[in-house]
Amino acid sequence: MSRVLLIVLDSVGIGAAPDAADFGDAGADTLGHIAEACARGDGDRAGLRAGALRLPHLAGLGLGLAAEAATGRMPPGLAPSGPVEGAWGHAVESARGKDTVSGHWEIAGVPVDFSWGNFPATRPAFPPALTRALIAEAGLPGILGDCHASGTAIIEELGAEHVRTGRPICYTSVDSVFQIAAHEEAFGLERLYALCAVARRLCDPYRIGRVIARPFTGDEASGFTRTANRRDYAVPPAGDTLLDRLAAAGRPVVSVGKIGDIFAHRATGREVKPGGNDACLTAALAALAGMAEGGLVFANLVEFDTEYGHRRDVPGYAAALERFDARVPEIRAALAPDDLCLVTADHGNDPTAPGTDHTREQVPVLAFGPGVPPTALGRLAFADIGRMAERHLSLAVAGGGRLA
């Protein structure tokens, strides 16, 4: 038996999904547009990076071919220079959501078959009854925000007023989220977490996927900055996931980064949550090194999404992709002869698209390891990704997503 390393590059979409227009995302293409922007010289930033997008290792695993299969266009510079090493495909989501939770649950075999609740892009965004209940139950002097917002912009706008008044900043987006930003010292981190637990319960009747604590520090003079103490309060998956089946079979699991939060800490095994893509990848490789046969390391690299996709930062996103690419040889070296590594994504977040939200896209599926033959997998379902993992780990599994 062998191990599986499943890495989700959060938001690294490879082209519009067939139903992208229904989401206002016709033509979205996170990877393709970044590659095209870099080829034009629009991905340059002094001191960070310059020129064409260089992802030689990912291209060699079939990333460019997967993107070409998804869109009909090879992103500039992503054609493999030799034979592909592994299997590659592109996957389409069935759930009607372009959020992290829907994407990961479907990868793990539980497509969301209901509609998440969303708050409208009005002011107020939240139902007054919900706001009233939150204020009353948590003993707040009121709330600020109550609108759709970018999390970094709204703490700049309202951070000082929050510190002055003690009113937490509540905001949302097109995703099914109720986010609460509060100052770590002035409001208190534990108090923010307790407030989010109350909000979690109050949001349940509205079918809100996540309540998110967004602590920040700083002051008006020097500016406000979010800290690494973000905490997500998700609803548990609606059915048995890959993780539940592994737990039932007594298999070891290590969850890296946001995975624990996304699955509401159910069957997520040992959780490690260092900050940043590099630290998460390092932690995932360390977990794999100590992982017994038949186990899974499930990692999410969220920085692509939070730091660059939502911030519409093309050079930043390109540099993050190049940093991950540079570590692909390290990943490959960490794989034992029977191990399988799966690299995929949960949705898109095209940094060239209007607004600051996710984009409805197809995702790459790169499956590699010493024993994986070069294979074009074609068009897959998100659930095929988890199925590949389960099949590799010799769990009984029906359906598609066969590697060879």
Ligand X SMILES: O=P(O)(O)O[C@H]1O[C@H](CO)[C@@H](O)[C@H]1O
347 is in an annotated binding site: yes
CB nearer to Mn ion: pick between 305 and 361: 305
Question: SS3 of 357, please?
Answer: coil
Quote the least distance from Cβ 278 to Mn ion, whole Å.
Answer: 18
- Binding part of the chain for ligand X, among 80-88, 160-168, 172-180, 249-257 by CB under 6 A, reads 172-180
346 is in an annotated binding site: yes
Quote the least distance from Cβ 231 to ligand X, whole Å.
Answer: 12
CB nearer to ligand X: pick between 89 and 151: 151
For residue 16, what are the contacts with CB-CB under 8 A and spacing of at least 6? 25, 26, 27, 28, 29, 71, 359, 360, 361, 362
Residue 150 lies near ligand X (rule: CB under 6 A): yes
For residue 192 the two structure tokens come to 């923010």
Quote the least distance from Cβ 207 to Mn ion, whole Å.
Answer: 19
Which residues, listed in sequence order, are joined to residue 213 by a DSSP beta bridge?
Answer: 180, 231
392 is in an annotated binding site: no
- Would you list the DSSP string of 300-356? EE-HIIIIIITTT-HHHHHHHHHHHHHTHHHHHHH--TT-EEEEE-SSB--TTSSSS
Residue 230 lies near ligand X (rule: CB under 6 A): no
CB nearer to Mn ion: pick between 305 and 390: 305
CB nearer to Mn ion: pick between 244 and 305: 305
Residue 251 lies near ligand X (rule: CB under 6 A): no
Quote the least distance from Cβ 310 to Mn ion, whole Å.
Answer: 6
- Is the four-CA dihedral 189, 194, 200, 203 of positive or negative sign? negative
Quote the least distance from Cβ 184 to ligand X, whole Å.
Answer: 16
Q: Using CB distances below 5 to 8 A depending on partner kind, what does residue 173 bind out of Mn ion, ligand X, none?
A: ligand X
The sheet carrying 4-9 orders its strands as 270-272, 253-256, 296-301, 4-9, 340-344, 363-368, 87-92, 375-381
DSSP annotation of 16 reads: B
Do residues 158 and 151 touch, judged by C-beta distance below 8 A? Answer: no
Q: Which of 29, 68, 85, 175 binds ligand X (CB under 6 A)?
A: 175
Residue 306 lies near ligand X (rule: CB under 6 A): yes
Residues annotated in the binding site for Mn(2+), as ranges?
Answer: 10, 305, 310, 346-347, 358
